[in-house]
Amino acid sequence: MKTPYYYAGLAFFLPASVWATVTVSNPFNGETVSTSANYVATASTTTCAKGVASMGVYVDGVLGNVVNGDKLNTTVSLTLGSHKTVVQEWDYCGGSTYTPIAVIVATQNGVWVTSPVPNSTINLLANYVATATSTCPKGVASMGIYINNNLVYTVPGSKLNTQISLSPGAQHTVVEEWDYCGGATFSTVNLTVTNAGIKLANLQTNAGWESWGQLPPIYADCSPCTGLNWSSVRGVTSPSLTGNATQFNTSGTVPYAVVLWVNPVIGDFSTQGLPDANHTLVPGLHNFTYDTDLYVTNLSVTAVLEFDVSMYMNGIGMFFGTQCNHLNGGTWDVLNNVTQHWSPTSTACNLLNGWNHITLQFQRGTGNTVIYKSISVNGVTANINETFASFQVPASWYGITVNYQMDGDSKQSSNRTYLDNLSLTYW
């Protein structure tokens, strides 16, 4: 399938690509582990008809723990200290791909926080990533986060990965672990939070959304489209978390057809009263948080759901494209603006039938690069930190859009989703 760039009714299309992927579910990148670390991963390929032949783990450039097939669940022996490890797959056609996983090995009691950095300055949303170890024979029971001496979050086990909204100013935070023997250890993470973010809230309620359909194989804009139907309904009270959700519907007879909804929030055609006629707002923006509650009615026919922010100025395009590729690889993918291909991450897309909370963090980097910072689903955050160059667009394109897309499955089955609490925070 192809992915369209949209801006104010204009579009050009990106060719689909085929990929091999290695998805590592344990350990996560940057985790503190014991000397016997459990590695769990799966691999897939769409470029070799015979599939994946074997998988293995490299530790500091040395290959070990090779298994046959497309699933790996093995214990890797590690020495104390930091290690660069890689999980790699090899297919029957001579192809290969890999996912790097950096780990730190420790044996003593402690809490190791990899994010946020102590004594750093952050913007509103703190991404906490930490692991704990204990000499208690039964191990670590749970972990938690204190904000200014108030316990605000707990999770069972020895891993913590979540995002927490903080108030502006100096914040005293602590990440603590409690073991099964009654012991506890903690790490202090003092932060300074700036009040730079501006939030455009409840975007799902806005009447200014535009929508288009595209049919394979060309995926050109059409409205109406033969064999593809879609609609949206605002003001839905059930299912809803606020009493004001928006329903999105697709159906038809053409397999793999897609529908994209676009809301131009800043710049030309702004639905938020932010036309930025003097072109002073958009050039100063570097950070974006796309946050929404998503209700899925039927995962079995939910092929791909896409969540994007696009930014255009001075003939430069930055498209922060992120998709849950549920029925074709099962990973979160990010868009490479240079090759115009989707790049699978090592993060599995684990949505639920029912409500899901999704938070995506993007950043415009030096030289107008596109940086995918993190993906958070239902309280679990994956640090992506992938960077791509920008691309050229017509000089007349200007502004920022928020997008939502539903892709059809092989039968173009009828599908329905809901968005609630949709917001874009920028600074």
> For the segment 75-127, what is each residue's pLDDT rounded down to a tens digit?
999 988 889 999 999 999 998 989 999 888 876 668 988 888 888 888 777 88
The answer as to CATH 2.60.40.10 being correct for domain 110-194 is yes
Q: What local confidence, expressed as pLDDT, does residue 45 receive? A: 85
Q: What is the pLDDT of residue 9?
A: 39
Region 255-277 average pLDDT: 96
pLDDT reported for residue 196: 66
Split at pLDDT 50, 70, 90, the class of 13 is very low
Domain boundaries 35-105, corresponding CATH code: 2.60.40.10
The structural domains of the chain, with segments of one domain joined by +, span 35-105, 110-194, 198-426
Quick check: 227 pLDDT over 90? yes
Decide if domain 198-426 falls under CATH 3.40.50.2300: no
How does pLDDT run across 354-405, given as a tens digit for each residue? Answer: 999 999 999 998 899 999 999 999 988 898 989 999 999 999 999 999 999 9
Q: Pick the residue with more confidence: 17 or 407?
A: 407
Q: How far apart are CA 410 and CA 255, in angstroms?
A: 5
Check if 110-194 and 198-426 are the same fold.
Answer: no
What HEC string does the chain produce? CCEEEEECCEEEEECCCCCEEEEEEECCCCEEECCEEEEEEEEEECCCCCCEEEEEEEECCEEEEEEECCEEEEEEECCCEEEEEEEEEEECCCCEEEEEEEEEECCCCEEEEEECCCCEEEECEEEEEEEEECCCCCCEEEEEEEECCEEEEEEECCEEEEEEECCCEEEEEEEEEEECCCCEEEEEEEEEEECCCEEECCHHHCCCCEEEEECCCCCCEECCECCEEEEEEEEECCCCCCCCEEEEEEEECCCCCEEEEEEEEEECCCCCCCCCCCCCCHHHCCEEEEEEEEEECCHHHCCEEEEEEEEEECCEEEEEEEEEECCCCCEEEEEECCCCEEEEEEEECCCCCEEEEEEEEEEECHHHCEEEEEEEECCEEEEEEEEECCEECCCCCCEEEEEEEEECCCCCCCEEEEEEEEEEEEC
The model's confidence at residue 166, banded by pLDDT at 50, 70 and 90, is confident
- Mean pLDDT value of segment 18-24: 71
